[in-house]
Structure 1
Amino acid sequence: MLEIKIKTFAELSTQELYDLLQLRSEVFVVEQDCVYQDLDGKDEKALHVLGFKNEKLVAYTRVFKPGDYFEFASIGRVVVARNERAFKYGYDIMNASAEAIKTNFNETKIKISAQKYLSNFYQNLGYKQIGEDYLEDGIPHIAMIKT
């Protein structure tokens, strides 16, 4: 079971910020071989959902209130360290993220921009595809909504 911490950008320690940026870079840039601008100016608006195992960051998302990213509340930068995926921490971090949206923004409708190959994972969490596939940073994505 992950230890979950939810923090605003200002509440993140320097070490936590370094660790989450390192994890995002490890997966989204190196593992997925995708050159893109991860530091997009949106981290300052987000709530950061950090999942720790033995005091090491192994899972992460950032969440937004309605209007900050999409029309609805949203979850993005969903990431689990490669060597920790077998433990299904993606479900833990996504459930914690949905709970953070409910608690902090009093919202239950959530929109995500999901990498297409993960659509079954998100469907298992109650998300449904809306619209057509599209490319984002060269990777096939789909928009999904959970109500």
Structure 2
Amino acid sequence: MYSAKGDEITVAELYPLLRLRVDVFVVEQECPYPELDGRDLLPTTVHVWWQPGEEVLGCLRLLRDQDGAHRIGRVCTALSARGSGLGALLMKSAMEHVGDEAAVLEAQTYALDFYARFGFVPEGERYLEDGIEHQTMRRGAVSGARA
């Protein structure tokens, strides 16, 4: 598993992550949205990815919300890697970065049980984003963690 902060990631590392995200979220899921949102290069952003060869097979990113919570997003795997357990490995790595602190994510509803395995619980009402049903999920800070 690889990781890099937004202000340390190289162009050669970031480009395949962006390509995978566009392939999955924009092309495959047919959701034309502004994938390049200006947050990938922030020093508080952390990218996590798996690249066993030339091709990136999965990635995600961690952001920091205004309240200090970690925000996990852009979790995706290449079609060829689905069902291999890679998504769980990516989330395990993300949770190592989060540690005992609070975290939030916006899950596509088919993945609610997947994220629940990592301690996330639904919060609020389900909503549509780009025609796909989503649910906010949150994991509170673990006792003894700093705020």
Question: TM-score normalised by the shorter chain: which range applies?
Answer: 0.7 to 0.9
Long gaps (5+) in structure 2 = 141-147
The DSSP-based 3-state class of the residue aligned with 1:56 is coil
Equivalent of 2:18 in 1, 4, 21: 21
Q: Structure 2: which amino acid aligns with 1:78?
A: V
1:143 correspondence with 2:142: no
C-alpha contact 2:69 2:101 (8 A) present in aligned 1: no
Provide the residue aligned with 1:30 in structure 2.
27
Q: Distance in 1 between matches of 2:60 and 2:131?
A: 21
Structure 1 stretches of at least 4 aligned residues deviating more than 6 Å after TM superposition: none
**In 1, Cα distance between the equivalents of 2:118 and 2:76?**
15
- Tell me how many residue pairs correspond in the alignment: 138
2: CA distance between counterparts of 1:135 and 1:42? 22
Deviation at 1:146, TM superposition (A): 1.6
2:2 to 2, 5, 9: 5
Following superposition, the deviation at residue 41 of structure 1 comes to 1.1
8 Å CA contact retained: 1:129, 1:145: yes
Deviation for aligned residue 1:145: 0.9
2:86 aligned partner: 89
Hey, which of these two has a bigger chunk of strand by percent? Answer: 1
SS of the counterpart of 1:53? coil
Unaligned 5+ segments in structure 1 are none
SS across alignment from 1:57: coil
Q: Structure 1 vs Structure 2: percent identity of aligned residues?
A: 36
Is contact 1:65-1:101 (8 Å) kept? no
Tell me the residue number matched to 2:118.
Answer: 125
For 1:141 and 1:72, how far apart are their aligned partners in 2? 19
Q: Which amino acid aligns with 1:137?
A: D
Query: How do residues 23-62 of structure 1 correspond to structure 2 at under 5 angstroms?
Result: 23-45=20-42, 46-54=45-53, 56-62=55-61
Q: Is the contact between residue 98 and residue 108 of structure 1 (CA under 8 Å) also seen in structure 2? A: no
Query: With structure 2 as the length reference, what TM-score do the two structures score?
Result: 0.86
SS at match of 1:11: coil
Q: Secondary structure at the match of 1:60?
A: strand
- Higher helix content, 1 or 2: 1
- Give distance in 1, aligned partners of 2:68 and 2:32: 27
